[in-house]
Amino acid sequence: MRQRAVAGVCALVLLAGVAAGWRTPPAALWLAWAVALALAAALVSRPGALAALATARGRRVAVALAALAAFAGGLWSHFAVLHDLPRYDDETAYLLQARIFAHGRAWLAEVPFASMLPHPLVVNRPDRFAGAMLPGWPLVLAPGAALGGPWIVSPLLAALAAWLAGEAAADGVDDPAEANARAALAALIVGTSPWVALQAGSGFGHVACLALTLAAVLGARRPGPWRAAGAASLALLTLARPLDGLVVGACLGAAALLGAPRGRLAALARYALALALPLGLLLLWNRALTGDPLRFPADAWFDAIDRVPGCHRMGFGPRVGCPLHARDLPGFTPLDGLRVTGQRLGQLARDLLGWSLALAWLVPALARSTPRATPALRLLGAIGALTVAAYAGFYYHGIAYGSRFFFVLLGPLAVGLAASLAPLAARYVGRRAPLDGA
């Protein structure tokens, strides 16, 4: 009976989400996902459905299906929804730089008639022609560009993010049945999200940032190759989005300081190196393209277009904020920061149809369960909270294919919701299904 109540609440939240998110394009993608989750809610109402997820076999099948759904959704979004075309200048600049990297160059030194090729967010100098965006995401896109298909990179990373979300959800859970259920549910939440599909079909690198964040958190929690992979992920994340890298690095460093003394210095040194190397490369990159190590190429481009020096930057002040983004700029105050944060969070709720935000509170109450917050979940929660706070100091809302600055919040939301639902699955294992060697 309690399961049916949970399924009923799921259906109601989905209906409310469809009503709230219907105007968010592409509506067909959101509606298809809502119908799929409504069917899933009906399936969950069956007594043995949740129990199957708590088995080792159920976990493997669920994670594989989630990864496949994420990959297929990204491809479908790219070709059927976005029609294999960049919609924003940022995407074009990323693809340009990825193709330059794919040819083994950092920039083009000689471009015939370069002055006849004006394009937003492009460094166009007599001796330099390159994308003005940060180099981390184009580096990730470069192998796909070299093979003639940069569009396949994000869908692959979406599948990876679904698997990593499952690993993060199960990390630190002692009960095998609950660990299996958490992994299966978190992977399914990420893999079937229409927002993941839409971002994976775009030319932005936020799906990559989600996967790198999850890998960095798992690297802090697990020994051996995971540590090296986590440090490398943190470095690449910093090269792609320095603010996100600093947020993740700060949370990992704080966790190391508050954790066990053994291995603390090694962990801090690893995080410091993973941040210092990409930040040093960014200084060299800035100097090569702008002549100033502290001036990003995109900032220089906005300065030239808007004729308000220093408008495109973090912080508050009368000259912060480029008029290209809004007519009431420049001028950005802390109150404006709160307003923009509310705008991003409102869009986030629409991107997720409101389901994860609501169910994270409703499910534990209905299930009469109190999910245990694992260290990985606490880390992801801290990263999400600090991300929201950090971006409050940036004037532009950044809404493109959803609230993309807050895309990383899908990690803690998925892992937290899986933690809320998993006790239901684990509770039914003994009654409905064997552990299957879990």
pLDDT computed for residue 438 by the predictor: 40
Mean pLDDT, the chain, whole residue set: 83
- Count the residues in the chain: 438
pLDDT digits 0-9 by tens, 24-40: 445 555 555 555 555 55
pLDDT bracket for residue 432 (50, 70, 90): very low
pLDDT computed for residue 130 by the predictor: 92
The torsion of the CA quartet 382, 388, 390, 391, rounded to 10 degrees, works out to: 150
- Tell which wins on pLDDT, 134 or 55: 134
pLDDT computed for residue 261 by the predictor: 79
- Tell which wins on pLDDT, 343 or 46: 343
pLDDT digits 0-9 by tens, 376-400: 999 999 999 999 999 999 999 888 8
Structure-token pair, residue 230: 């986590």
Name which of 136-150, 351-365, 386-400 the model is least confident about: 351-365
- Closest of 316, 419, 346, 338 to residue 377, by C-alpha: 419
pLDDT computed for residue 168 by the predictor: 96
pLDDT computed for residue 81 by the predictor: 87
pLDDT digits 0-9 by tens, 211-262: 999 999 999 999 989 999 999 999 999 999 999 999 999 999 999 998 877 8
Euclidean distance between CA atoms 221 and 205, whole angstroms: 25
- The yes-or-no verdict on residue 14 having pLDDT over 90 is no
pLDDT computed for residue 322 by the predictor: 85
- Mean pLDDT along residues 298-316: 85
- Mean pLDDT along residues 288-309: 88
pLDDT computed for residue 156 by the predictor: 97
Euclidean distance between CA atoms 194 and 207, whole angstroms: 12
Cβ(158)–Cβ(200) below 8 Å: yes
Euclidean distance between CA atoms 158 and 66, whole angstroms: 10
pLDDT computed for residue 54 by the predictor: 77
pLDDT computed for residue 330 by the predictor: 86
Distances (CA, A) of 264 to 222, 245, 256, 260, 426: 14, 20, 6, 7, 34
pLDDT computed for residue 431 by the predictor: 45
Helix (H, G, I), strand (E, B) or coil at 314: strand
- The yes-or-no verdict on residue 143 having pLDDT over 90 is yes
Residue 130: what are its φ and ψ, rounded to 5°? -160, 165
The torsion of the CA quartet 166, 167, 173, 175, rounded to 10 degrees, works out to: 70
Helix (H, G, I), strand (E, B) or coil at 189: helix
pTM above 0.85, yes or no: yes
- Tell which wins on pLDDT, 296 or 402: 296
